[in-house]
């Protein structure tokens, strides 16, 4: 778990403390719940989901395509200076 220090206006701190006391939990529990509820869901930028998206659509090419091989070949062309 990551420790995070924040500065909030006094009235917000009082409201957080009041809610925590009302619920019988620590202030950090209330704050964590509030932040989690307001922030967008985590987005995973893994290569597998990107690969699946790249293959979405119709290019007209009918032969099998290996994105990993294509990436390697593109990289090798760029490194060698060929365009």
68 in any annotated domain? yes
H or E segment to which residue 11 belongs: helix 10-23
How far apart, in Å, do the first and last CA atoms of the chain sit?
Answer: 46
The answer to whether residue 56 is domain-embedded is yes
pLDDT of residue 19: 94
Task: Kindly list the distances between the CA atom of residue 38 and the CA atoms of 3, 9, 32, in Å, as whole numbers in the listed order.
Answer: 19, 19, 10
57-72: average pLDDT: 75
pLDDT digits (tens, 9 = 90+) for 11-42: 999 999 999 999 999 999 999 999 988 888 77
- 47 token code pair: 């290569």
Please indicate, yes or no, if residue 21 is contained in any of the structural domains. Answer: no
Range of the domain at 65: 47-80
Establish if 73 belongs to a structural domain: yes
Does this model's pTM top 0.85?
Answer: no
pLDDT at residue 81 is higher than 90: no
């Amino acid at each position: 778990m990551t420790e995070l220090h924040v500065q909030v206006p006094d009235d917000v701190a009082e409201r957080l403390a009041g809610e925590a006391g009302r619920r019988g939990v620590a202030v950090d529990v209330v704050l964590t719940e509030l932040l989690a509820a307001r922030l967008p869901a985590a987005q995973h930028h893994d290569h597998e989901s990107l690969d699946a998206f790249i293959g979405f659509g119709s290019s007209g090419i009918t032969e099998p395509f290996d994105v990993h091989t294509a990436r390697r070949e593109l990289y090798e062309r760029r490194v060698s200076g060929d365009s």
